[in-house]
């Protein structure tokens, strides 16, 4: 029997079992070898059609002519006993032995777990009675006499905020950081290595100006050599906003993905100084590459791969549970390694996104976050943060990458790049003529790609209701045909 021939009742029950706790995703990703993006597509399509994602998965998989026995063996490897029992009436009798074997195995595991639970309970009791592992990070820092970022504010922080509705951008009259110290210590900070402050002073040659990579309102970034590794050391200014950024980045910039800048560790210096240590990327920022044109301008193939990588990184953030809104996507926050692979950096404005039917928990900010030329009208009006904000910002970056024009230019009639391009299109200007002047008319020019980049950029910057998701954008980019550089 083939999977698309399963009796209705059996198929319905199997879908119910695999929909529970999203077991179908393990089946799809590990055993059926669907990519994370295909799994996300299946999930979103099923939601749009108001149907079971397992049903849609089995329908899609069944198009390649698979037998029920194949599905049975995958479920056996997953140790999904209930699903095996569901399929028992429609598989060969010799496979029934696997159900018996799995039952025995699960019974043995259950007994072992009972013993482990007893041991864990004893350990938990020991920790409650004063074990060092039960002491929160903040408390340990205070007991050891080490300085904290704005310690008075941290000690008076409100503990009433739930993890599922964290908003890092609102502060109360008691100067809360938008997240409780308990949440920070138990969920996040224990996972981040603490680096000795003196090691970082030595790594940067005592904060030498020769190692200074950049500076701004947040503080300074230095290049350093630490434990035979080249790193970027972000030395934050000692003020309330930078302390908030420190905690926000500590908590949120821990997602491991090829297109996200990894955070190696943190340090606390004298007088409450906060320091973050990240991977050093020799390619600099996308902004620098678009402006400097050295050693040579980016080719279309390189521009495409950079934007595809950024789209992949944003898709990863937007499809987490709960999704993460970066909030400040712009060329300056897109960093490039030696091979021009992009990594999204600066999570200082990142926000966890929770959405309920009554929209009460959609994050709102009193203060403008991000860089306003890259922000959509709906955010500038009511400060409502959704993943669509990142999509809009991505679209503006696509326009910059295609044209190399500044995002804001006071010498233009329309100072904002997005408005400027829309005005030119109304006048009948060919989009291909807006190609980066460094490429336009040369052997490396590509009117078709310039047109495609601007089209995607304009699509991403439509009104919120018409704006695509990052999945839509990624898939559109992924399907494009790009010339290979010689």
> Which residue in 126, 103, 346 sits closest to 216, CA to CA?
346
Tokens of 134: 């039960």
Whole-angstrom Cα distance, residue 400 to residue 310?
14
- Beta-carbon contacts of 229 under 8 Å, excluding residues fewer than 6 positions away, are none
CA proximity to 260, closest of 304, 220, 214, 311? 311
Place of tokens 């020991």: 126
Contact 81, 106 (CB under 8 A): yes
Active-site residue among 94, 328, 382, 430?
328
CA distances 202 to 199, 206, 224, 233, 380, Å, are 5, 6, 8, 12, 43
50 burial level (CB within 10 Å; 0-12, 13-18, 19+) = exposed
Q: Which two tokens stand for residue 43?
A: 């999930």
Is 234 part of any known ligand binding site? yes
CB neighbourhood size of 463 (10 A): 11
CA distance 382 to 384: 6
Which residues fall within 8 angstroms of residue 215, CB to CB, at 6 or more apart? 221
Buried b / exposed e across 147-160, counting CB within 10 Å, b at 16+?
Answer: bbbbeebbeebeee
Do residues 86 and 16 lie in contact, with contact meaning Cβ atoms separated by under 8 Å?
Answer: no
| Residue 95, H or E segment | none
Helices marked H in 319-441: 377-382, 387-403, 417-426
- Cβ neighbour number for residue 7 with a 10 Å cutoff: 11
Q: What is the 3-state secondary structure (H, E, C) of 226-254?
A: ECCEEEEEEEECCCHHHHHHHHHHHHHCC
Nearest alpha carbon to residue 193 among 286, 134, 266 = 266
- Determine whether 328 is an active site residue: yes
For residues 95 and 71, is the Cβ–Cβ distance under 8 A? Answer: no
Enumerate the H helices of 129-184 as residue ranges.
137-143, 151-155, 181-183
Q: How many angstroms separate the first and last alpha carbons of the chain?
A: 51
Numbered residues of the known binding site: 234
Residues marked as catalytic: 328
Question: Residues annotated as binding site for ATP?
Answer: 234
């Amino acid at each position: 029997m083939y999977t698309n021939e399963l009796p209705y009742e059996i198929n319905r029950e199997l879908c119910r079992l695999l929909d529970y706790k999203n077991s179908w995703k393990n089946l799809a990703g590990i055993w059926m070898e669907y990519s994370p993006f295909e799994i996300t597509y299946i999930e979103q399509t099923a939601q749009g059609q108001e149907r079971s994602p397992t049903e849609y998965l089995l329908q899609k998989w069944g198009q390649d002519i698979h037998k029920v026995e194949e599905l049975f063996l995958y479920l056996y490897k997953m140790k999904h006993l209930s699903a095996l029992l569901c399929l028992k009436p429609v598989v060969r009798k010799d496979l029934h032995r696997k159900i018996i074997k799995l039952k025995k195995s699960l019974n043995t595991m259950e007994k072992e777990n009972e013993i482990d639970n007893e041991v864990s309970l004893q350990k938990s009791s020991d920790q409650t009675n004063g074990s060092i592992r039960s002491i929160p990070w903040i408390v340990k820092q205070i007991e050891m006499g080490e300085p904290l970022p704005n310690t008075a504010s941290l000690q008076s922080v409100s503990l009433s905020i739930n993890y599922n509705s964290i908003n890092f951008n609102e502060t109360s009259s008691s100067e809360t950081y938008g997240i409780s110290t308990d949440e920070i210590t138990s969920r996040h900070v224990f996972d981040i290595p603490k680096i000795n402050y003196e090691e970082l002073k030595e790594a940067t040659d005592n904060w030498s100006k020769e190692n200074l990579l950049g500076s701004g309102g947040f503080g300074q970034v230095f290049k350093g050599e630490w434990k035979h590794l080249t790193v970027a050391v972000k030395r934050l200014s000692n003020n309330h906003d930078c302390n908030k950024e420190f905690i926000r980045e500590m908590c949120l910039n821990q997602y491991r993905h090829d297109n996200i800048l990894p955070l190696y560790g943190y340090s606390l210096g004298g007088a409450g100084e906060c320091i973050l240590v990240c991977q050093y990327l020799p390619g600099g920022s996308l902004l620098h590459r678009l402006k400097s044109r050295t050693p040579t301008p980016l080719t279309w193939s390189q521009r495409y791969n950079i934007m595809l990588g950024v789209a992949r990184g944003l898709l990863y953030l937007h499809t987490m549970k709960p999704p993460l809104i970066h909030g400040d996507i712009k060329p300056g926050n897109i960093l490039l390694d030696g091979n021009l692979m992009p990594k999204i950096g600066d999570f200082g404005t990142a926000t966890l996104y929770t959405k309920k039917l009554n929209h009460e928990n959609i994050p709102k900010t009193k203060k403008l976050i991000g860089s306003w030329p890259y922000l959509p009208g709906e955010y500038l009006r009511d400060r409502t943060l959704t993943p669509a904000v990142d999509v809009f910002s991505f679209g503006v970056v696509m326009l910059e990458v295609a044209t190399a024009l500044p995002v804001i230019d006071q010498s233009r009639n329309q100072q904002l790049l997005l408005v400027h391009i829309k005005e030119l299109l109304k006048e009948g200007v060919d989009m291909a003529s807006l190609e980066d002047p460094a490429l336009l008319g040369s052997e490396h020019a590509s009117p078709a790609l310039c047109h495609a980049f601007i089209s995607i950029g304009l699509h991403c910057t439509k009104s919120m209701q018409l704006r695509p998701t990052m999945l839509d954008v990624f898939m559109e980019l992924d399907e494009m045909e790009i010339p290979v550089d010689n």
